[in-house]
Structures are given as C-alpha cells and as structure tokens.
Amino acid sequence: TYNLQQESVSTIPDTLKAHIERRANDEGYAGRLINLQVEFERANTSSLDLVVIADFDGELADLYNRLRRRLQRWCVEACTEYHWEIPFTQLTLHQTEPTR
C-alpha cells in the first residue's frame, strides 16, 4: 500500500529479490536461476506494484507452471515475513438519507 511508498522504490525490491534467491536455493534451484530482477512496475489504484522477472535454466522449461507458482508463493511468503500488506480491491458505499 502507499504507506510503503518510499520503500517500494528502494529497499523492498532488494529484500524481495534476496528472499526469492534464498527460497530458490532452499528448494533445489541453486545455479538454475540464471537471472532475477525485481523492479517497481507502477503506482496502481490501491497498490504499489512490483514485477519479478526470473530466468531459469532452459532444462527447466517443462516446469514453467510449477516455477511460476513457486515464485508467487515465495512473494507471498516475503509479504508475510516482512509485514507487507497485500491490498485487495475495495468498494465503499455511502448511504444517503432516505427521501421522505
């Protein structure tokens, strides 16, 4: 959310990258993660969005969907560990006085 505005363009991308690298190593992908970038992508309606770009060894191509899910899980784990709120779409209703 916007309460992490400064960190979203400075420390959070580096922290998330380190977390993903650590988890990839923990789960046996050491040396198979060729390139990893975490960058600020955009200021969205109710969130500050990052993009994770991960290139794995071509021999893992048949694991594409599994790796995509793991990257998502590792990102959620990092959000939990570092107390980064995951925003959700909100709708606010304002009730007017009934007409008499």
Give the pLDDT confidence of 34-91 residue by residue, as tens digits. 999 999 999 988 889 999 999 999 999 999 999 999 999 999 999 999 999 887 776 6
Determine contact, residues 51/41, Cβ cutoff 8 Å: yes
- Full domain range(s) for residue 23: 2-81
pTM score: 0.84
pLDDT bucket at 93, cuts 50 / 70 / 90:
confident
Establish if 88 belongs to a structural domain. no
pLDDT at 46: 82
Find out whether 1 and 48 touch, Cβ atoms under 8 Å.
yes
Is 20 part of any domain?
A: yes
**Is residue 98 situated within a structural domain?**
no
pLDDT at position 92 is 73
Confidence class for position 97, pLDDT limits 50, 70, 90: confident
Q: How many residues does the chain have?
A: 100
Give the total number of structural domains in the chain.
1
